[in-house]
Structure 1
Amino acid sequence: MLENYYVRPASVDRIRASWIAPAIEQYVNWMAEHGYTPRSVLHRVPVLVEFGEFAKTHGANELAQLSDHVEPFVQAWIRRRGRGRCASRRSRLAHEIRNPVCQMLQLAIDGYVGPGRPHKPENPFERQAPEFLAYLVEEKGLRPRTIYQYRFHLRQFATYLDRNGIGLRAVSPTVISGFITEYGPRVAWTTLRNACGTLRVFLRYLYREGVVSRDLSSLVEFPQSYRYAGIPRSIAWDQVERILASVDRRSPCGKRDYAMLLLLATYGLRACEVSALSLDDVDWRNERFRIRDRKAGNTTTYPLSAVAGAAIVDYLKNGRPATTHREVFMRMTAPLAPIQSAAVVSRAAYFIRKAGVSVPRTGSHVLRHSCVQHLLNAHFSLKHIGDYIGHRNISSTQIYGKIAIEELRSVAQGDGEDVL
C-alpha cells in the first residue's frame, strides 16, 4: 500500500525500516479504506515514523509501551516547531500531531482508547439503580433519543448530589428543591420541564424498587408555563430563498448542503429525518420518498418535487463520495460516514448567518417553522399542516396559528362583529 503513495523506493524503505512499520502500514490501509486523501497520508506517515524513533529513544521496545510516549512526543514537537505561534495555533498543531498517533495506536493496540473526552457512564446511578435504563425501554417503551435525554438529566442530578456529598438514599424534598432551584436559572424552561419529568419518573422507580423509603415523585413541581406563550422561529419566504441562494453549488459540499436545505424548507423536515434519509427511501420511478421512524412514531410519504429531486440527483452524481453506506448525505471529509443531525443543524445555522437573516436562535428548525408559515399563508388548515410535518396531535400544530399574520391582522383591523 505504501507504494501507492510514494514514488521513490527509498522512501518506502525508510518507512519499513522503522520498528513500528507494521503498525504504520496497518494505519495506511485503514486511511485508504476510509477515504483519506493522498495528501493526508503523506502528511501523517512522517509523523508516525518520527514518533516511533522518539519512543524507541525513550525506552520503548514493544507496541504496548507506545501509549506512554504520546503526550511527551506531542509536547516535544510543539517545543521544537511551535515557537512564535499563538496559543490557539499551538493547540491546533498539537491536535494535528496527536490525532494520527492515537488513531494508529487504536488499530495496533487492543483496548487503547487515547486521550479523548472522558467517558460518561450510560447510567450515572448504575450502582443503586442498574436496571433503570432497561425499565425505560422495556416497560415505558421510550425511543433511543428520549432515553438519551433521560441520561443527560440524570447526569445533572448525579453531579449535584456528588458536589454536595448526598447519597441517593438521603434524597429529600429539600434536596430536590435545591437541585431545581440551582439548575433552573441555567437552562431554558423547556429543559427544566424535561428535567423535572425525568426526575419524577426516576424517583417513582426508586420507590418501586425499594431504593428509597418514600415516593417523592409528587413533590417535583413542573415549572409554570403558559400554553402558546412562545413564538415559532419562522422567517419570511423571501428570506428562505435568500438562504438557499447563498449556497455555492459548484462544490460537492455545496451540492449536499443545498439539497439538505431544500428538504428542510420544502417539507418541514427535522434535522434527524434529513440525516437518516437513505437511498432506499427514495422511489425515483414514482417520484416520491418516505420519512421513516418520525418523532411521533409514524412514517410519512411525500411527493418528490422537481427542484428537490434535481438537487438530490446533482449531489448523488457529482458530489456524493463513493461509499457503501446507504444514507444519502455523507460527510465530505475523512473518515467517510453518514452525516449526523448535529451537522445538519450546524450547516443550516451557517447559511442563515451567511444570508444575514436575523433570528433569535439559528438552526434547522427555523426552516421547519418557515415551511409551516408558508403553508398557513396558502390557507391550508392546521390539520393538514400537522399531517404534513409529522405531528401526532393537533395541539402541537396550534401554536403555529400565531404566525398566521394576515389572518390576525384582519381580526385586529376589523370591527369585531365577525368574531362575535
Structure 2
Amino acid sequence: MSNTNDQLITELRTVLSSQQYSPVVIGNYCAYARGFVEYLAQQSIDVVEVTETQVVQYLHHAVALFRKRHGRSPGPYWHSIPRSGIHALLRLAQGQWPSPPKAACVADALRFAICDEYETWLREERGLATASIDALMWEGRNFLAWQIDRHGPDSLMTMSVSDIDSYMDTRSPHQTRRSVKDVAERLRSMLRYLHRTGRVAIDLSPHVIAPLLYAYEGVPSILTPDQVAAVLQASGEDKTSAGLRDHAILQLLATYGLRSGEICNLRIEDMDWRAESIRIRHTKTRASSFLPLMAPVGEAVLAYLQVGRPATDAREIFVRTRAPYRKLGLLASMVRRRLTAAGVTPAGKNGSHIFRHARAVEMLRAAVPQKVIGDLLGHRSTESTAPYLKLATEDLRAIALDVPGQEVRS
C-alpha cells in the first residue's frame, strides 16, 4: 500500500480516537478500511474518486473472501462493520459522504440545477423550516426524475395534466388518504415553482387531484395521565446512561408537549439554571419560546448531564450513547421502547406526538385558554390548536343530555 494510503489510515485512526470510539471498534474500522484501499489499488482507483457503486462492489468481494477463508457466509449484520469503516474513510478522504451526485448527461444537469434553485427559493424566499424543505425537495427530485426519464429534458415545457395524473397514480398505491394529500401539496409547490421560473408553459398545480379530508378527521392517539405516569416511573428506575437520557426526554415530552425536533435541537445554553427557564426553538415556526423550568424536568436533565451524558464537544444536550457522540435524530424508536417497557399500549400511533396530544388535552380539561395552549405548543394560530379539542371526548360525554324518547306501552 502506498505511503499516501498509509497516512490516510493513520489519520482515520486519529479521527476515530478523537470521536471517542472504543479501541476495538477503531481496530475493526481501520482493518476494513485498509482492505478497501488495497482493493482500490488493485483496481487502479483513487480513493477520492470512489462512488457508492464501487463500495457495493467491494462489499460483495469482501463477502466472497469471508466465505473462502471461513467456509461459510458471514452473519446477517456482518456487512455493517466494514461498511461503517469504509464510510468513515471516505468522509475523511472526500470531505463528504455520500458524495454529491455528478451530472452524467444533460438531463442530470437540468434536474440538479432546478433542485438547487428550488431549495434556495424555499429557504430564502419562503423561509421554511429544514424539515419542510427536506420533504418538498424529496418530492421535487422524485417528480423531476420521473418526468425527465420518461420524456426527456425538453418535456417540462409541454407537460400536461395527464402527466400529473400518471405521476399521482404511481405515488398513491399503499398510501393513506392523508399521505396522498401530502404528496399532492408537495407536488403543487414544485409545479408552481416551475411555472414561476418559466420552465412550464402553464401552471398545472390546480390540476393536482388529492383526496378530500374533512375538518378534524380521525382521532389521534393519546395517553391517559396514568399511562404517562407509568412511563415516567419505569424510565426513572433505569439509572444507565441511556435510562437517564430517555427519562429526561420523556419529562420534557410530558411536561411541555414538545415536538421531537425541538428536543433533539435543545442546546446546553438553552437551560438557564439561575432564572429557572428553558428556551425552546420551535421547528415549524422557527420562533423561540421561554418556558419556566419545572422541577421534575430540571432534575432529570441535570442528572443526565452530571452522570449519563458522555464527554463530547456537541452543544446539543441529548446525544447518542455510542460514538460518535452527536445529537439524536428522531425519538420515535426510543418512545416505543419505553412504552413497551412500561406495559403501555396506545390504541393507535405510538410516537413522541402522543405525549403532545396528552398535554394539550390535559390543559383543555383544566380550562386553560386555547391561545395559551397554542403558545406553549408553538402554534402560529389558534386554528392549529383546534384539532386537539376533539380529543377531549370524555368531557363531552360528561355533559351529554338524555334525549326523551317515545314511551313504550305494554
Match of 2:79, SS?
Answer: helix
Does the 8 Å CA contact 1:291/1:300 hold for their aligned counterparts? yes
Give RMSD over aligned pairs: 3.4
Question: What letter is aligned with 2:379?
Answer: H
Q: What is the 5 A alignment of 1:67-146?
A: 70-71=58-59, 74-80=62-68, 83-84=71-72, 90-107=75-92, 109-110=93-94, 113=97, 125-127=111-113, 131-146=117-132
The more displaced of 151-160 and 277-286 is 151-160
Separation in 2, partners of 1:257, 1:41: 27
Does residue 351 of structure 1 match 2:329?
A: no
- Select which of 254, 259, 262 maps to 2:248: 259
Separation in 2, partners of 1:33, 1:378: 50
Q: What is the 5 A alignment of 1:140-289?
A: 140-162=126-148, 164-165=150-151, 167-247=155-235, 249-289=238-278
The more displaced of 171-180 and 160-169 is 160-169
Does the 8 Å CA contact 2:129/2:285 hold for their aligned counterparts? no
- Mind listing any 5+ residue stretches in structure 1 that lack a counterpart? 1-15
- Select which of 370, 375, 392 maps to 2:380: 392
Question: What letter is aligned with 1:392?
Answer: R
Taking structure 2 as the reference length, the TM-score comes to 0.83
Separation in 2, partners of 1:375, 1:322: 38
User: Is the alpha carbon distance of 1:79 and 1:262 closer, same or farther for their aligned partners in structure 2, counting shifts above 3 Å?
Assistant: same
User: Is the alpha carbon distance of 1:176 and 1:112 closer, same or farther for their aligned partners in structure 2, counting shifts above 3 Å?
Assistant: closer
Shift of 1:348: 1.1
Percent identity between the two aligned chains: 30
- Select which of 370, 377, 382 maps to 1:382: 370
Does residue 408 of structure 1 match 2:408?
A: no
Partner of 2:300: 311
- Mind listing any 5+ residue stretches in structure 2 that lack a counterpart? 405-410
Separation in 2, partners of 1:62, 1:128: 31
User: Is the alpha carbon distance of 1:275 and 1:52 closer, same or farther for their aligned partners in structure 2, counting shifts above 3 Å?
Assistant: closer
Separation in 1, partners of 2:116, 2:45: 42
Separation in 2, partners of 1:66, 1:269: 42
Separation in 2, partners of 1:45, 1:129: 36
Partner of 2:352: 364
Shift of 1:27: 1.5
Taking structure 1 as the reference length, the TM-score comes to 0.81
Shift of 1:246: 3.1
Does the 8 Å CA contact 2:255/2:359 hold for their aligned counterparts? yes
Does the 8 Å CA contact 2:248/2:300 hold for their aligned counterparts? yes
Partner of 1:26: 11
Shift of 1:183: 2.0
Separation in 2, partners of 1:123, 1:53: 33
Q: Deviations over 1:49-104 (max 9, x none)?
A: 66677777x5879877999794465234421456445xxx5342122133224423
